[in-house]
């Protein structure tokens, strides 16, 4: 199976929706999934990964590792559901919407998008908004 999703938390996730989101974003960006592991975890796990592999001593919402060559995606990403919940409260959006945004963000990183500079961040946010419209029903 090219995309494997692992949930290391007790929170229930709609894995079929997450699969559809990741697959759609990558296909529409011109990529095929060769091998991709998506891990939904807590702050403790992502903090450890962030410290060990990136030298940052704090939790974050997502970390993406790409081993891709050409148009075939080979990689992994980790998303902290604790951070997603904190972000949802901070940005006053629902948990599911923030989860979709961070999942889209991770897929876009795999597609080569960066967010280290202001202009890159703007482009990433525009792409996130484009895909969010397709997968998130606005709350009334």
**If we measure between CA atoms, which residue out of 34, 46, 36 comes closest to residue 8?**
46
Instruction: Express each pLDDT in 27-84 by its tens digit.
Output: 999 999 999 999 999 999 999 999 999 999 999 999 999 999 899 999 999 999 999 9
**If we measure between CA atoms, which residue out of 45, 48, 41, 23 comes closest to residue 33?**
23
SS3 7: strand
Which helix or strand (DSSP H or E) is residue 65 part of? strand 62-66
What is the pLDDT averaged over residues 124-134? 96
32-41 and 62-66 as β-strands: parallel, antiparallel, unpaired? unpaired
Pick one of 3.40.50.170, 3.40.190.10, 1.10.630.10, 3.40.390.30 as the CATH number of 3-135. 3.40.390.30
> Residues 84, 88, 93, CA angle at the centre, nearest 5°?
140
pLDDT of residue 1: 65
- pTM of the full structure: 0.95
pLDDT of residue 139: 56
pLDDT of residue 136: 80
Buried-state track 121-132, b at ≥16 Cβ within 10 A, e below 16: eeebeebbeebb
Q: 79 burial class (0-12, 13-18, 19+ CB within 10 angstroms)?
A: buried
pLDDT at 140 over 60: no
What is the pLDDT averaged over residues 95-99? 96
């Amino acid at each position: 199976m090219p995309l494997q999703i692992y949930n290391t938390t007790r929170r229930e996730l709609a894995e079929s929706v997450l699969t559809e989101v990741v697959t759609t974003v990558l296909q529409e960006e011109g990529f095929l999934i060769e091998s991709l592991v998506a891990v939904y975890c807590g702050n403790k796990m992502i903090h450890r990964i962030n410290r060990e592999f990136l030298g940052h001593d704090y939790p974050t919402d997502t970390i993406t590792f790409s081993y891709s060559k050409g148009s075939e995606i080979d990689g992994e990403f980790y998303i902290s559901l604790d951070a997603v919940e904190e972000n949802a409260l901070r940005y006053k959006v629902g948990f599911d919407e923030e989860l979709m945004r961070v999942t889209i963000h991770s897929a876009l990183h795999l597609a080569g998008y960066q967010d280290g500079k202001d202009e890159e961040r703007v482009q990433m946010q525009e792409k996130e908004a484009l895909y969010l419209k397709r997968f998130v029903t606005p709350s009334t």
